Amino acid sequence: MHLPYKLLLAGIVLTTACEKKDRYPDKPNTPPEIKPVVFDYAKSADSAQQSLNTQFWSVNEKYYNQNNDGHTGFNYWWNAHALDVLVDGYNRTKEATYTAKMDALLEGMYKKNGNKWTNNFYDDMEWMALACLRAYAATNDSKYKTLAESLWTTIKGGWTTVNGGGIMWEKNSPASKNACSNGPAIILAVRLYKLNNNQDDLNWAKKIYTWQRANLVEAARGVVWDGYGNFNEGMVLTYNQGTWLGGALELYTITGEEQLRKDAIRTANYVMNDQVKFSPNGVLKGENTGDGGLFKGIFIRYFTQLILLGNLDDYTKSQYLQYLKTNGESLLGKATRLPEFIFHPNWSAQPTTAKLDCSVQLSGLMLLEAIDELKRLGVWK
């Protein structure tokens, strides 16, 4: 975001012929220096977190409503990402209000899901397990670890030999082998391996990765297709790119295999550089409201991890940081509605209404929290 230049009006001074020095000054008049706008991402994240909790939280039922316009629908996977975002806030502030909200959300989600944690969608359970592992890492509260491990047991049952392998998206659809149910599973399996040192978890991660690379990833560009056999260019979605590069990165941190790192970088570069499918004018594309409102934030979460853990060369790291900077400045400078502090699903467009889906708020929050994490770790200059 840039401030407009101000016109400078030069005063005309009448002088006599002998006042040559005044009529012809040694130095020409120059416009004042225009200082770039500096955004405070921590304060912005605070404001966005407050809006999430005042505008979307169901006080009585303890979960986040579908929108802030009276729709009280419960979306399991959105709330799983809400837990992830609360972990972000706690990591940034260490305030007990975040852990209290996390505990309340766990209670509310369980009740709204029929007093159980499993459901028919394997990706839903994967998002929840991943959020729980981050909650456990942040709080050392064993209930999160126990839940993640229990969900992982169920998730592994989603692997079948239909289409040569892969984890199903939906329990009753054996052929639904989608990126959204396999990429997160790779990340989950590796992180559980790091936690418990169970070789079987690492074997699962490698098996799922091998299947997804062979069936859902185009070798030339690194683009990740939505599902087995679906090569629709209109269905290349940001979150699938994010979880794929996230899975490659997690495996790389364990094995050190350079091909894994290259796979992650190839996909990240494609998203960053393709101004038609993914990043018009350097800003992640809008993917509408509803489920699509969450997609960009998920990509940002794992793209940020690539910056932190990918052993990037200085040039690549600088390009990735600039990409995040462009997105962050566009979100706050163009796509944030004040005083409500809510976001447009397109990070380049000004919100015209204060009503929106919770998914959109979560996605914007992930970007703000990610940038502040990089600042706290000294990566963001």
DSSP labels for 107-147? Answer: HHHHHHTTS-S--SBHHHHHHHHHHHHHHHHHH--HHHHHH
Residues 191/130, Cβ–Cβ less than 8 Å: yes
- Asked whether the predicted pLDDT for residue 187 surpasses 90, the reply is yes
Q: Convert the pLDDT of each residue in 255-281 to its tens digit.
A: 999 999 999 999 999 999 999 999 999
pLDDT at 266: 98
- More confident position, 1 or 236: 236
Select from 1.50.10.20, 3.50.50.60, 3.30.450.20, 3.40.640.10 the CATH code of 39-376: 1.50.10.20
What is the distance between the alpha carbons of residues 254 and 101, in angstroms, rounded to a whole number? 33
SS3 state of residue 226:
coil
CB-count exposure of residue 337 (10 Å: 0-12, 13-18, 19+): middle
Q: Which residues of 7-16 are buried (b: 16+ CB within 10 A; e: fewer)?
A: eeeeeeeeee
Chain-centre distance of CA 119, in angstroms? 24
Query: Strands 336-337 and 342-343: what pairing?
Result: antiparallel
Identify the bridge partners of residue 167 per DSSP, sorted by sequence position: 159
Chain-centre distance of CA 134, in angstroms? 14
- Per-residue pLDDT band at 134 (split at 50, 70, 90): very high
Per 3-state DSSP, the chain is made up of helix, strand and coil in percentages (nearest 5) of 60, 5, 35
Q: How many helices (H) and strands (E) does the chain have?
A: 13, 2
- Asked whether the predicted pLDDT for residue 38 surpasses 80, the reply is yes
- Asked whether the predicted pLDDT for residue 2 surpasses 50, the reply is no
pLDDT at 31: 59
Residues 152/202, Cβ–Cβ less than 8 Å: no
Among residues 204, 113, 112, 211, the alpha carbon closest in space to that of 153 is found at: 204
Q: Convert the pLDDT of each residue in 63-118 to its tens digit.
A: 999 999 999 999 999 999 999 999 999 999 999 999 999 999 999 999 999 999 99
Q: Convert the pLDDT of each residue in 140-152 to its tens digit.
A: 999 999 999 999 9
pLDDT at 34: 57
